[in-house]
Amino acid sequence: MIRVRGAGIIGLTVADELLRRGHRVEVVDPDPGRGASYAAAGMLSPAGELWYGESDLLRLGRRSARLWPALAARLGVELRRGTLLAAVDHADLQALERQLDLVARHGERPLPLTRRELLGHEPRLGRVSGGALLPEDHSVDPRAVLAALRRRIPVVSAPSETAAEATVWAVGTRPPAAYRSLVRGVRGEILRLRVGADDLPDRTLRGWVAGEQVYLVPRAGGELVLGATSGEYDAGPVVTVEGVARLLDSARRLMPGLDRAELVEATARDRPGTADNLPLVGPGREGEVLAVGHFRHGVLLAPLTARLVADHLETGYVEAALDPRRFPAVPVAGAGAARHDEGER
């Protein structure tokens, strides 16, 4: 039996893949689906989220994005296609164009749009100066994904007495003490609005708004997710007045019709960040496999992580860029420890 600790999007997709391959699995989480996955907007957006020096993330993100249509179809969740980029003022347009250059240099094909073309795609936008379409950047609803996975996979709140052949740690920002220094929390605040049918954008919008960035992710049924702030604090995640004000100011400027929307939820969670912003997927101590540290990309990277964890358990394969052993602080198999699974969470 393989024990998976953590029932967020990573733990549950790993468990799903293992079950599909015929393994016996026990998923353990005292509070399933309430970590970073609960806040996630669900953008499958390797190009839109590309940043300087993060080529591996784009390469792996694209690989994982290609697995999403089949996973979404199997789970019966909607995959909403395409992402629009929109700049409000001319300085914003320059920032957006730098993003397009970066994306194009990595072999992606963004479609630049004039102001008029952008408004043709999304007439609900306010005053904008230009933008682009990223046709291969999609989105899913992480809560719908979690619900579909939970219908297939039972989750227990504490480990059973049965000895596990291996333990997979899929616990985001809360790995056991031996690994804790490898993952830091990066707070994100996110809002959920209920929007009338006439005001809901057709696809994900990523805005550059007077020097701020904001994204708006629509869902069937009229929900619009606004995100996200990003900051590192000594304290745990809380929703701040400043965070809410910044998100709402930017979103309203981008789409003035949102003044009519109902604000239904404000959530803060820590994203699990690593020193190089790539997750740790692969071996840890004897009998342990890590699947943590997915930072801004947990939903995107979930199906690839699931495959890599299952491949590792079956064949020993490790994807070099994600190998936890790239950090000397990672305790590894053979370093003296046997089983550490119980009571560490």
User: Smallest gap, in angstroms, from Cβ of residue 260 to ligand GLY?
Assistant: 25
Six-digit token pair at 196?
A: 């009338």
Binding footprint of ligand GLY on the chain (CB under 6 A): 41, 43, 49, 188, 227-228, 271, 296
Residue reference for tokens 């994600």 = 322
Instruction: Spell out the residues 6+ positions from residue 344 whose beta carbon is closer than 8 angstroms to its own.
Output: 176, 177
Dist. CA 266–CA 238, nearest whole Å: 9
Provide, rounded to whole angstroms, the least separation between the CB of residue 278 and ligand GLY: 14
Nearer to ligand GLY, 16 or 49 (CB): 49
- Residue 27 vs 214, nearer CB to ligand GLY: 214
Instruction: Name the closest residue to ligand GLY (Cβ).
Output: 296
| Cβ 227 to ligand GLY shortest distance, Å | 5
Least distance (Å) between residue 287 CB and ligand GLY: 31
Based on CB atoms, which residue is closest to ligand GLY, 187 or 340?
A: 187
Q: Quick one: 18 or 84, whose CB is closer to ligand GLY?
A: 84
**Closer of 15 and 228 to ligand GLY (Cβ):** 228
- Which DSSP letter does residue 237 get? P
In whole angstroms, the minimum distance from the beta carbon of 188 to ligand GLY comes to 5
Nearest-angstrom CA–CA distance, 145 and 303: 12
Which helix (H) or strand (E) segment holds residue 253: the answer is helix 241-254
Long-range contacts of 63-67 (CB under 8 A, 24+ apart): 63/304, 64/300, 64/301, 64/302, 64/303, 64/304, 64/305, 65/136, 65/137, 65/138, 65/300, 67/303, 67/304, 67/307
- With respect to ligand GLY, which residue has the nearer C-beta, 138 or 271? 271
By three-state DSSP, how is residue 20 classified?
A: helix
Enumerate the H helices of 21-130 as residue ranges.
36-39, 55-75, 90-105, 115-121
- Alpha-carbon span 250 to 50, nearest angstrom: 21
- Closest to ligand GLY by CB, 190 or 310: 190
Residue 39: CB minimum distance to ligand GLY, A: 8
What gap in Å lies between CA 27 and CA 169, rounded to an integer?
A: 10
Tell the smallest beta-carbon distance from residue 204 to ligand GLY (Å): 11
